[in-house]
């Protein structure tokens, strides 16, 4: 299989970071103000970059030829917790994937003046997502990711042009430059910015596929830098136009009859549809890892005579040996898990119209675990930057507590 270029790795990781949450960044500035909002984006970018860097450094501690994943890193650090760690990744990616499909069902009927139903739209998206989720390699999604990034560029241009060309006196509310809202308001918008940089679910695949491993730090810095630049640009410009009147999705604040707005809605729709496979890919890998872990544990703990278990044990051996070339993932299981995950994600999207609370809680816990807490724990065990790694985990714990509190009580 051909290796991924540095450019395609940057494109895929950048698109993993930038999702529909981009358009909610101006709303975060409503309580944070411009200065503190920009600072928070920088903190999020630095924390995310360091977490990805730690995973990259820890990958060098794996046996030669062994593929990097949260599962393999857990196997040599906290093997008893491998199942829990992969479950965290699975839940986070699954929840975000479902939310993308729900957003597709909400967007296109509006764009077509309700000429099609929500159910029809979600099912029609299968025509795009099915071919994309059939690829084993993340690098195969680079064209879709590039199209998604072009859609993002259009949305950024749309926000900036409205701020520069519109009469701001008609839309602008109160603007906080160096002041902030109340502590409760800041905590309520805190997750919007912090979780905007979630990319750890795909960093292992990027590490495994990239042709030149020496370019990994460049990929991490470039992806977070590009994403951070877009977040600052959209956040500042969108907030400058609307101030305290800004909405959760800034596209909804523009005149829906304008051609530029309709193109923006279509760009958002395209971006969301093309983001679904980027969540599906790590969810499928994590599900396979969990099944493998359970099978291995059952075989090793089975009380069968040695002559009966020996062939199986030779096949499964132990966790470290099994993943020398990656956790086994046969074609049959690949197809089966792809079908099961498709049915589950589309089933949830068709039956659940609004599950913001559940999704927010999953994001507050799952994203924090895979972006900050787990990389920090891996680094504490495997890297030389032990105390910096521990600090990243403690930062993740503080973010989780603050986010869950804001979701439940604010």
Note the maximum CA span of the chain. 82
Facing residues of 210 across strands?
4
Name every residue whose Cβ is closer than 8 Å to that of residue 309 and which is 6 or more positions away in sequence.
299, 302
Percentage of the chain modeled with pLDDT above 70:
92
Dihedral of alpha carbons 75, 76, 78, 79, sign: positive
d(CA 109, CA 258): 17
In a domain, 146, yes or no: yes
Structure confidence by residue, pLDDT tens digits, 158-183? 999 999 998 888 788 899 999 888 87
With 0-12 CB in 10 A as exposed, 13-18 as middle and 19+ as buried, what is 112?
exposed
115 vs 355, more confident? 115
Asked if the model's pLDDT at residue 27 lies above 80, the reply is yes
| pLDDT given for residue 312 in this prediction | 39
Measure CA 285 to chain center.
14
63 vs 77, more confident? 77
Asked if the model's pLDDT at residue 191 lies above 90, the reply is no
Residue 4 sits at φ, ψ, to 5 deg, of -85, 140
Domain of residue 144 covers 6-409
Residue 210 sits at φ, ψ, to 5 deg, of -65, 135
Query: What is the tally of structural domains in the chain?
Result: 1
| pLDDT band of 303, cuts 50, 70, 90 | low
In a domain, 61, yes or no: yes
- Which 3 state secondary structure label does DSSP give 210? strand
With 0-12 CB in 10 A as exposed, 13-18 as middle and 19+ as buried, what is 106?
middle
pTM of the complete model: 0.85
| pLDDT band of 341, cuts 50, 70, 90 | very high
In a domain, 35, yes or no: yes
Q: What angle do CA 187, 44, 41 make, to 5 degrees?
A: 80
Asked if the model's pLDDT at residue 316 lies above 50, the reply is no
In a domain, 1, yes or no: no
In a domain, 272, yes or no: yes
Q: Write out the DSSP string of 243-284.
A: GGG--SSGGGGS-TTSHHHHHHHHHHHHHHHHHHHHHHHHHH
In a domain, 311, yes or no: yes
Question: Could you tell me the CA-to-CA distances from 52 to 12, 293, 304 in Å, in that order?
Answer: 14, 24, 42
In a domain, 365, yes or no: yes
Averaged pLDDT, 52-75 = 86
Please check whether residue 403 is in contact with residue 194, taking contact to mean a CB–CB distance below 8 angstroms: yes
Lowest mean pLDDT among 5-14, 36-45, 304-313, 357-366: 304-313
d(CA 6, CA 212): 7
Q: Write out the DSSP string of 111-179.
A: HTTTSS-HHHHHHHTHHHHHHHHT-SSGGGGHHHHHHHHHHHHHHHHHHHHHHHHS-GGGT-----SS-
d(CA 335, CA 331): 6
Residue 324 has a CB neighbour count (10 Å cut-off) of 14
Name every residue whose Cβ is closer than 8 Å to that of residue 29 and which is 6 or more positions away in sequence.
37, 176, 235, 236, 238, 239, 246
Residue 3 has a CB neighbour count (10 Å cut-off) of 14
With 0-12 CB in 10 A as exposed, 13-18 as middle and 19+ as buried, what is 227?
buried
Which run of H or of E encompasses 109? helix 82-111
Please check whether residue 63 is in contact with residue 321, taking contact to mean a CB–CB distance below 8 angstroms: no
Dihedral of alpha carbons 113, 115, 119, 123, sign: negative
| pLDDT given for residue 356 in this prediction | 59
| pLDDT given for residue 319 in this prediction | 41
Q: Whose CA is closest to 111, among 121, 119, 102?
A: 121
302 vs 291, more confident? 291
Question: Could you tell me the CA-to-CA distances from 393 to 81, 102, 370 in Å, in that order?
Answer: 16, 32, 10
| pLDDT given for residue 81 in this prediction | 83
**CATH number of 237's domain:** 1.20.1740.10
Averaged pLDDT, 71-91 = 86
């Amino acid at each position: 299989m051909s290796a991924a270029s540095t450019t395609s790795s940057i494109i895929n990781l950048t698109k993993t970071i930038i999702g529909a949450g981009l358009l909610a960044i101006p709303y975060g500035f409503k309580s944070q103000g411009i200065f503190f909002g920009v600072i928070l984006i920088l903190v999020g970018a630095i924390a995310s970059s360091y977490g990805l860097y730690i995973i990259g450094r820890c990958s060098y501690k794996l046996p030669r030829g062994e593929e990097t994943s949260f599962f393999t890193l857990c196997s040599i650090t906290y093997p008893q917790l491998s199942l829990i760690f992969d479950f965290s990744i699975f839940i986070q990616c699954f929840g975000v994937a479902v939310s993308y499909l729900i957003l597709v069902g909400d967007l296109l009927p509006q764009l077509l003046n309700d000429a099609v139903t929500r159910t029809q739209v979600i099912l029609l998206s299968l025509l795009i997502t099915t071919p994309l989720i059939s690829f084993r390699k993340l690098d195969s999604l680079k064209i879709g990711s590039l199209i998604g990034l072009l859609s993002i560029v259009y949305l950024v241009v749309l926000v900036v042009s409205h701020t520069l060309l519109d009469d701001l006196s008609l839309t602008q509310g109160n603007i906080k430059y160096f002041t902030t809202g109340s502590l409760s308001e800041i905590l309520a918008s805190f997750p919007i910015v912090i979780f905007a940089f979630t990319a750890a679910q795909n960093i292992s695949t990027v590490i495994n596929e990239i042709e030149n491993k020496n370019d990994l730090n460049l990929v991490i810095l470039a992806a977070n830098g590009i994403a951070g630049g877009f977040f600052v640009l959209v956040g500042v410009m969108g907030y400058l136009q609307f101030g305290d009147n800004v909405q959760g999705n800034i596209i909804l604040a523009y005149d829906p009859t304008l051609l530029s707005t309709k193109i923006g809605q279509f760009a958002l729709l395209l971006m969301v549809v093309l983001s679904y496979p980027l969540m599906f890919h790590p969810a499928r890998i994590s599900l396979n890892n969990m099944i493998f872990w359970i099978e291995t544990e059952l075989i090793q703990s089975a009380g069968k005579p040695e002559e009966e278990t020996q062939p199986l044990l030779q096949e499964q051996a132990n966790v470290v040996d099994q993943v020398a070339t990656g956790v086994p993932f046969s074609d049959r299981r690949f197809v089966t898990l792809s079908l099961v995950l498709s049915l589950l994600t589309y089933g949830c999207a068709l039956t659940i119209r609004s599950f913001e609370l559940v999704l927010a809680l999953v994001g507050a816990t799952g994203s924090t675990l895979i972006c900050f807490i787990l990389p920090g724990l891996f680094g504490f065990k495997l890297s030389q930057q032990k105390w910096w790694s521990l600090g990243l985990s403690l930062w993740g714990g503080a973010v989780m507590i603050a986010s869950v509190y804001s979701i439940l009580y604010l």
